[in-house]
């Protein structure tokens, strides 16, 4: 291993410069690594390559846009591709949205939501509404505002993240949610939830979603669906909130927006929110150089066209059903599995500890376990007490089988090695 220059994200710098995790090529649903290993991608990149790698139609549209308008943004300007992309996104949702604001990432979009919600209430004569509510173990990004809203413990205190105007409640705990709104309902600007929590694939129960909508209506708080991870067919619908009876006031989309080709996110905003800004002439003070550029908009339009051409959402439902069946079979046959949860092509497997079958897998095992599964031929995502599967919507049935088989092989190999060591310190 040579010492390089790259500082990769979300991993110890001491683990950098590792050829077993350095991508040198992609194709379809497979990734080639610098050590020569080719693996089946069970994570859709970082949950964003929903249609598989190297889609030529999307690449061609991006190339055309680079030649016709290499840069045209939306900072005090508009551009025609961004206008069309906004229209297409509005049409893609089952709920009525009036406007689309483009941003560059899920984190920055969550920052924008917090600003938008607070200004919305200030324009309505309620400047005291500043609290934003998220869910414990929810993930909304690591930019300064989004890091505060994120409900996982990810070093917020050490980084000096200001959480004074943020509250967190437990997903699907209706009693806790009611108590918070009873105590602070008129101070709450917005409640921001992932329809399926990215950390552990916890699905919000229909009754909990209904209560969120009811409390938002009763108190005037905005309901925000953070669909950075769940959007674009991931859970069986174009957007997971399409099944909600009460539409979110704001929907955040990002990961699948350009099929992983360009950094992009979008806020879909209902008319009740947009009209307050329009009628008052207020300016939302948020600007990003690369947000909503003509090139990015071309990627969004091409991705939506490919969703239609490939029947990606119906195909994703089939992949989700096959994945659920394979994981059920593993749980029934494999004593190492504690349980599974999730929806569609968004699943988590909780595993037993190799040295104590009554306990869940200790989190310190997970990185080594993911490496063992990669050696067995597939890449999966780390999860709480186990692993997560986020396959592309365009998988074949054979690839679903290959993915779960590689995971089972890797888990079995890892468990056997830990037991042979006779303690829980294995980290090969």
Question: Which domains can be identified in the chain, with CATH numbers?
Answer: 13-54+311-421 (3.90.1150.10), 56-309 (3.40.640.10)
Quick: pLDDT tens for 14-48. 999 999 999 999 999 999 999 999 999 999 999 99
Query: What does the pLDDT read at residue 2?
Result: 72
Q: pLDDT band for position 426 (50/70/90)?
A: very low
pLDDT for 97 equals 98
Burial class (CB in 10 A: 0-12, 13-18, 19+), 288: middle
Q: What are 383-400's pLDDT values in tens digits? A: 999 999 999 999 999 999
Q: How far apart are CA 62 and CA 296, in angstroms?
A: 8
Q: Residue 17 burial by CB count (10 A; 0-12/13-18/19+): exposed, middle or buried?
A: middle
Q: State residue 356's pLDDT score.
A: 85
Query: Phi and psi for 169 in degrees, rounded to 5?
Result: -125, 165
Structure tokens at 308: 């239609």
Average pLDDT over residues 327-350: 95
What is the reported pLDDT for 187?
98
Cα 20 to Cα 80: distance, rounded to the nearest angstrom? 43
How far apart (Å, rounded) are the C-alpha atoms in residues 199 and 140?
10
Residue 93: pLDDT above 60?
Answer: yes
Residues above pLDDT 90, as percent of the chain: 95
pLDDT band at 358 (very low <50, low <70, confident <90, very high): confident
Instruction: Calculate mean pLDDT across residues 158-182.
Output: 98
Place of tokens 């020569």: 36
- The residue ranking higher by pLDDT, 258 or 1, is 258
Residue 428 pLDDT? 39
**Is a pLDDT exceeding 80 seen at residue 427?**
no
Give the residue from 124, 125, 425, 99 showing the smallest Cα distance to 266.
99
Look at residue 415 in the predicted model and tell me its pLDDT: 93
Going by C-beta distance under 8 Å and a sequence separation of 6 or more, which residues neighbour residue 62? 261, 262, 295, 298, 299, 302
The band of 1, judged by pLDDT with boundaries at 50, 70 and 90, is low
Average pLDDT over the chain reads 96
Q: pLDDT band at residue 227, thresholds of 50, 70 and 90?
A: very high
pLDDT for 417 beyond 60: yes
In 28-74, at which residue ranges do the beta strands (DSSP E only) sit?
30-33, 38-41
421 band by pLDDT with thresholds 50, 70 and 90: confident
Q: Which bin fits 205, alpha (ψ -120 to 50), beta or left (φ > 0)?
A: beta
């Amino acid at each position: 291993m040579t010492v390089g220059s790259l500082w990769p994200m979300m991993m110890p710098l001491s683990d950098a410069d590792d050829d077993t995790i350095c991508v040198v090529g992609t194709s379809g649903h497979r990734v080639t690594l610098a050590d020569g290993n080719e693996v089946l991608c069970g994570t859709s990149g970082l949950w964003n390559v929903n249609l598989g790698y190297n889609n030529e139609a999307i690449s061609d549209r991006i190339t055309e846009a680079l030649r016709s308008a290499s840069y045209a943004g939306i900072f005090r300007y508009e551009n025609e591709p961004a206008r069309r992309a906004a229209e297409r996104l509005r049409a893609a949702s089952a709920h009525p949205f009036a406007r689309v604001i483009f941003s560059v990432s899920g984190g920055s979009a969550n920052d924008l939501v917090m600003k938008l919600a607070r200004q919305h209430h200030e324009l309505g004569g309620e400047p005291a509404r500043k609290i934003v509510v998220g869910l414990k173990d929810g993930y909304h990004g690591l930019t300064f505002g989004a890091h505060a809203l994120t409900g996982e413990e990810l070093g917020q205190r050490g980084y000096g993240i200001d959480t004074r105007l943020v509250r967190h409640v437990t997903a699907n705990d209706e009693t806790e949610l009611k108590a918070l709104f009873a105590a602070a309902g008129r101070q709450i600007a917005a409640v921001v939830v992932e329809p399926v929590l990215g950390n552990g694939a916890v699905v919000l129960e229909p009754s909990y979603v209904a209560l969120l909508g009811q409390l938002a209506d009763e108190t005037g708080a905005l309901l925000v669906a953070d669909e950075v991870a769940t959007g674009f067919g991931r859970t069986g619908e174009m957007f997971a909130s399409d099944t909600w009876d009460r539409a979110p006031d704001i929907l955040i989309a990002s990961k699948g927006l350009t099929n992983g080709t360009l950094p992009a996110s979008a806020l879909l905003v209902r008319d009740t929110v947009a009209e307050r800004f329009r009628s008052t002439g207020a300016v939302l003070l948020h600007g990003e150089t690369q947000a909503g550029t003509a090139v990015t908009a071309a990627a969004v339009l091409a991705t939506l066209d490919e969703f239609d051409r490939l029947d990606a959402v119906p195909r994703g439902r089939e992949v989700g059903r096959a994945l659920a069946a394979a994981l059920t079979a593993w749980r029934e046959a494999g004593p190492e599995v504690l349980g599974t949860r999730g929806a569609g092509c968004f699943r988590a497997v909780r595993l037993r500890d190799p040295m104590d079958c009554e306990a869940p897998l200790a989190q310190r095992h997970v990185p080594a376990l993911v490496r063992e599964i990669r050696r067995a031929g597939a890449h999966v995502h780390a999860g709480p007490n186990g692993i997560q599967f986020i396959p592309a919507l365009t998988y074949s049935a054979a690839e679903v089988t290959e993915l779960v088989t590689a995971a089972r092989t890797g888990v079995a190999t890892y468990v056997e090695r830990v037991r042979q060591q006779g303690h829980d310190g294995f980290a090969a």
